[in-house]
Amino acid sequence: MRLLVTGGAGFIGANFVHDAVCEHDVTVLDALTYAGSRESLAPVENKIRLVEGDITDAELVGKLIAETDAVVHFAAETHVDNSLSGPEPFLNANVIGTFTILEAVRAHNVRLHHISTDEVYGDLELNSPQRFTESTPYNPSSPYSSTKAAADMLVRAWVRSYGVRATISNCSNNYGPYQHVEKFIPRQITNVLTGRRPKLYGAGANVRDWIHVSDHNSAVRRILADGQIGRTYLIGAGGERDNLTVMRTILRLMDRDPEDFDHVTDRVGHDLRYAIDATMLRDELGWSPTHTDFEDGLRATIDWYRANESWWAPLKDAVEAGYAGRNQ
Ligand code: NAD
Ligand code: DAU
């Protein structure tokens, strides 16, 4: 199959492309923003076509979609803290960008899988048995999650109104190789590796539902192959942990004192807890995660950052300068 992968030079997209080249003829469309890099695609550079361009460029998007059998749409602005300090790029990439993709797949009758997030559902109480399901009402908190929610709504409307052949997945927090050092886990690992003190927002009671990026992508492959058009699938691996626990685990795995970190200014509107019920995906499509030992996955991720300093070191100082400006 000819596959167009938007955002394929970002964290999850690049990991997806590394595997997809074994089965598909892959074109990547990526604007190579601060979050995307050619280096993330170096292992497969001779097996793909990388087009540097913006998903809001209707002419370019139309041309590429006319030449493809399916689109996997990862491209987005993705960092909540950035959306709080400057929301406009999120409107552009996440809403107008998704609209542009939808109009092109409509014009050329091309299959679309739209990648979304559990953050569209808002947050859950701490210590409650509740988890998000496909029927949980949307209740986004941040500029990031509200623009992802808007994008999901556009996809649903284009399926119903125009018969666009699309599926949606909403996944929980990913970790693994090639994640930008602005994000929680790589930030703390690279803080330790550069002699900085790790930074925890507030008391660290907030809970995230961690999934290894390979498991997210294996679910996306299952949905792309056998998902029902018009359906939303939730992707999660039962990996709930509070941030304080994750911080202490990282420090222990890196042979540091587990209390050797700073508490910094909390994120405004900070979502308390995310948790996914992936029963439908498991029952309907027979998917299950393989990286079920979080500590093993974290250890391998730490090893990856140790071995790939040339990939992240050029990004680190600017990211930390930005955080320092916000007392984070
Ligand atoms: P990322 O920030 O690492 O990568 C995003 C990629 O999109 C980058 O390569 C960037 O250059 C590209 N991009 C941004 N704007 C673009 C534009 N206008 N045109 C073309 N390319 C553009 O993001 P990620 O963490 O890999 O997330 C990928 C997708 O998965 C996003 O849609 C995100 O909402 C979703 N998601 C992420 C997570 C997570 O934990 N990281 C969890 C669930 C869902
Ligand atoms: O749930 C899926 C979402 O997960 C994706 O849609 C987003 O694109 C992705 O960025 C992620 O969002 P979060 O806001 O949950 O991830 P982040 O890595 O920014 O933060 C994880 C938690 O750690 C969150 O509760 C804030 C906290 N945190 C974050 C940073 C960067 C810290 O305590 N210290 C930090 O330095």
Measured between alpha carbons, how far is 188 from 104 in angstroms, rounded to an integer? 40
- In this prediction, residue 299 carries a pLDDT of 98
Pairing mode of beta strands 211-212, 174-175: parallel
Q: Enumerate residues lining ligand 2, CB below 6 A.
A: 78-80, 117-119, 172-173, 183-184, 187, 199-201, 206, 208, 243, 267, 274
- pLDDT at residue 178, rounded to an integer: 98
Residue 188 belongs to a domain? no
The answer to whether residue 189 is domain-embedded is no
Q: Is residue 144 among the annotated active site residues? A: yes
Report how far residue 100's alpha carbon sits from residue 213's, in angstroms, rounded to the nearest whole number.
26
Tell me, yes or no, whether 29 lies in a domain. Answer: yes
Residue 281 lies in a domain: no
pLDDT of residue 101: 99
pLDDT at 136: 98
Which segments of the chain have a pLDDT < 50?
none
* DSSP three-state, residue 225: helix
Specify the pLDDT at position 294. 98
Query: Residue 327 falls within a domain, yes or no?
Result: no
pLDDT digits (tens, 9 = 90+) for 45-56: 999 999 999 999
Out of 144, 175, 233, 305, which one is annotated catalytic? Answer: 144
pLDDT of res. 274: 98
Active site residue 242: no
Residue nearest to atom 35 of ligand 1 (CA): 116
Write the pLDDT tens digit of every residue in 170-193: 999 999 999 999 999 999 999 999
Give the separation between CA 307 and CA 78, rounded to whole angstroms: 25
- Distance from the alpha carbon of residue 6 to the mean position of ligand 1, in angstroms: 9
* H/E element, 73: strand 70-73
**Minimum-distance ligand to the CA of 169?**
1
Ligand located closest to 114 CA: 1
Q: Is residue 302 part of a domain?
A: no
Determine, yes or no, domain membership for 240: no
Count, residues in the chain: 328
Which residue, judged by its Cα, is nearest atom 37 of ligand 1? Answer: 117
Amino acid making up residue 17: V
Task: Please indicate whether residue 76, judged by its CB atom, sits closer than 6 Å to ligand 1.
Answer: yes
Q: Is 295 a catalytic residue?
A: no
Which ligand lies nearest the alpha carbon of 204? 2
In a domain, 294, yes or no: no
Instruction: Give me the pLDDT at residue 110, please.
Output: 98
For the chain, the domain total comes to: 1
Position in ligand 2 atom list of the atom nearest CA 185? 18
Confidence (pLDDT) at 111: 98
Specify the residue with its C-alpha closest to ligand 1, atom 32: 74
Range of the domain at 169: 2-175+212-235
Q: Which residues contact 35 (CB under 8 A, 6 or more apart)?
A: 10, 11, 77, 78, 79, 180
- Look at residue 18 in the predicted model and tell me its pLDDT: 98
CATH of the domain at 96: 3.40.50.720
* CA pair distance 31, 15, nearest whole angstrom: 17
The vertex-94 CA angle with 151 and 12, nearest 5°, equals: 100
